[in-house]
Structure 1
Amino acid sequence: MASEDVVGKSSAGESAVTTIVNLAEEAKLAREGVKAPGHAILSVCKSLVAGGVAGGVSRTAVAPLERLKFLLQVQNAHNVQYNGTIQGLKYIWRTEGVRGLFKGNGTNCARIVPNSAVKFFSYEKASSGILWLYRQQTGNEDAQLTPVLRLGAGACAGIIAMSATYPMDMVRGRITVQNEQSVYQYRGMFHALSTVYKQEGFRALYKGWLPSVIGVVPYVGLNFAVYESLKDWLIKSRPFGLVEDTDLTVWTRLACGGAAGTVGQTVAYPLDVIRRRMQMGGWKDASSIITGQGRSQVEYSGMVDAFRKTVRNEGFGALYKGLVPNSVKVVPSIAIAFVTYEVVKDVLGVEMRISD
């Protein structure tokens, strides 16, 4: 038996080594431009992995700010518990501890990892297809993507990724908002999905989908367009002696990603607030943060109704509730996501980059 165990361990070790060698060979072939069998499928998988890792890392890094943004967006104007970024984070720490700062992050990552993977991959495919059509129409085989075309590719990627993972985003919002005073507790993403489906129906899983679609066009579209255009400008104008993409440092890419995130979230933020409020609609066991003491929760018949009631009851400024923590969050989040994506693809040996 002992000898069999040794043989088994040896075989397993040899298998692991073989796998590593094969991956290394695939990466080498990719860098050299040689198309090995299954290269296309492997490249797709690596691209999806890179996008997923980028989303998970970037979102976890800013999880406390993400939760605070949610709470500020949906809290009732007559039952204010969170008055700002510093006060809000301190209040969560004092009342719920460290776990409170990261509440909902597991569910968030369960959503953002596939969302980010699909989003980055969709952008690559959409930009390639748009560039091909653009070259066919102009008759210029050397034509490159313009900022407007990048915006279109980013918008397509955002809509595809958001629609594919929207139910998870919806229940993630509820899990993030609930606290110890909530009447009903969701135990996790799958429990929340099944509970919402049973109590409120299938359509409830897509509450707020329309403002999400409208908002994702400028948000994701501008993120990709600004990031890629800034990089392109830095390379072509060579303001700092830059010659090619590999000369862009991590800090330079972080700066480009931060600028992209700032522009995108500022334009789309009001739609994000309305989306969150619509997602909370119909939640009869919502916490007092949302309903207020002795008050019923506001119901919305649609996106326009949500805009109208929010502005009428709380003023125009309510459309920007949580903007400060979101701004503090989104700059490093988007920057980290773009840089992580490119770094992971470099490590995995995928030659195709979003810049291409």
Structure 2
Amino acid sequence: MASEDVKSTGESAVTTIVNLAEEAKAPTGHAILSICKSLFAGGVAGGVSRTAVAPLERLKILLQVQNPHKVQYNGTIQGLKYIWRTEGLRGLFKGNGTNCARIVPNSAVKFFSYEQASSGILWLYRRQSGNEDAQLTPVLRLGAGACAGIIAMSATYPMDMVRGRITVQTANSPYQYKGMFHALSTVYRQEGFRALYKGWLPSVIGVVPYVGLNFAVYESLKEWLIKSKPSGLVQDSDLSVVTRLACGAAAGTVGQTVAYPLDVIRRRMQMVGWKDASQIVRGEGRNSVEYSGMIDAFRKTVRHEGLGALYKGLVPNSVKVVPSIAIAFVTYEVVKDVLGVEMRISD
């Protein structure tokens, strides 16, 4: 009798251990699958949103870096017409392949990092405040967005650097770079590893308000609209696609307006050291301006071209950012819904 009890107890113990092991495996496998789906959704969101506004993205960069003594692009409409006339349809999307190769992993890392950062910050906030029902405030969302932006920017910055150079190449410039990998290897070989991170500091400083405000404004607007439930905008405790697009547009407009001067300086610093830069940047018979650092770039840009130079390309960038950020946020949430990922950025 005793032996039977021992045997029964042993079998129960083994069964319990097996069940616990299976339960431990299930969440791990589910978590990995959820992470992959989240990264995939972020990548798709970035690729779709950036391709939709690729012509405006290229024009913005050309306006940012063109030589003030040899102006070829005088505005959004004129600039797009000039590119179409001189380079055709392919000219409008030049650098987009490289851009997507950068933005897809950047967007994937950014959205995933925001989810993780916001979860960690919320846990710390609830623990510190002692309120287990506390929710993220706009300031905390700003901090989570800033963390996500810094991580994503740092992880993919070399691709962004060479993308800027490829985008600046025109039909009249020497085609030094044949593609992203050729550009990466050429810059590394001719200018060294540090050249791949030229303009990194203003990029990181700029990404804090830009990405931070994007997430903070988008999330806060959505939360406010869901709570206030204005007529026609909320459907079954959720926002319509059009309303979410509007929230994303507002978020993008606020973020890019604050961070835009740093983006201009970043682009100009990225061109330093490029001996075969297009004449649009260097100018005929003129030496390109050399910058010793971010502050020096700000000072020389303002001294030589005025304060308005810090906002060159703002109009096409604004036209680009409004749909781009909106499409990215909505695409991300729609793809996650399709893939069946439970956690969304609002959660």
TM-score by length of 1: 0.89
Contact 1:235 1:245 in 2 (8 A): no
Pick from 231, 235, 257 the counterpart of residue 240 of structure 1.
Answer: 231
Flag structure 2 segments of 5+ consecutive residues without an equivalent.
Answer: 1-25
Deviation at residue 243 of structure 1 after TM alignment: 6.2
Pick from 189, 201, 213 the counterpart of residue 198 of structure 1.
Answer: 189
Pick from 166, 169, 192 the counterpart of residue 157 of structure 2.
Answer: 166
Indicate yes or no: 2:62 matched with 1:68: no
Percent of aligned positions that are identical: 89
Partner SS for 1:90: helix
**Structure 1 equivalent of residue 171 of structure 2:** 180
TM-score by length of 2: 0.91
Indicate yes or no: 2:286 matched with 1:310: no
Equivalent positions of 1:295-306 (< 5 A) are 295-306=286-297
* Aligned residue identity for 1:63: A
Pick from 100, 103, 127 the counterpart of residue 109 of structure 1.
Answer: 100
Equivalent positions of 1:326-337 (< 5 A) are 326-337=317-328
Q: Which digits, 9 at most, give the CA deviation of each residue in 1:99-141, with x for residues without a partner?
A: 0000000000000000000000000000000000000000000
* Aligned residue identity for 2:151: I
Contact 1:184 1:286 in 2 (8 A): no
Runs of 4+ with >6 A deviation: 241-245
Equivalent positions of 1:336-347 (< 5 A) are 336-347=327-338
Aligned partners of 2:122, 2:321: CA distance in 1, in Å?
29
Flag structure 1 segments of 5+ consecutive residues without an equivalent.
Answer: 1-34
**Structure 2 equivalent of residue 258 of structure 1:** 249
* Aligned residue identity for 2:111: F
Deviation at residue 181 of structure 1 after TM alignment: 1.8
**Structure 1 equivalent of residue 79 of structure 2:** 88
* Aligned residue identity for 1:338: F
**Structure 2 equivalent of residue 24 of structure 1:** none
* Aligned residue identity for 1:160: I
Pick from 223, 231, 239 the counterpart of residue 222 of structure 2.
Answer: 231
Equivalent residue pairs, number:
322
Q: Which digits, 9 at most, give the CA deviation of each residue in 1:27-70, with x for residues without a partner?
A: xxxxxxxx666100000000000000000000000000000000
Contact 2:42 2:112 in 1 (8 A): yes
Between structure 1 and structure 2, the one with the greater Rg is: 2
Q: CA RMSD in A?
A: 1.2
- Change over 3 Å in CA distance of 1:37–1:219 after alignment to 2: closer
Partner SS for 1:79: coil
| Farther off after superposition, 117-126 or 291-300 | 291-300
* Aligned residue identity for 1:168: M
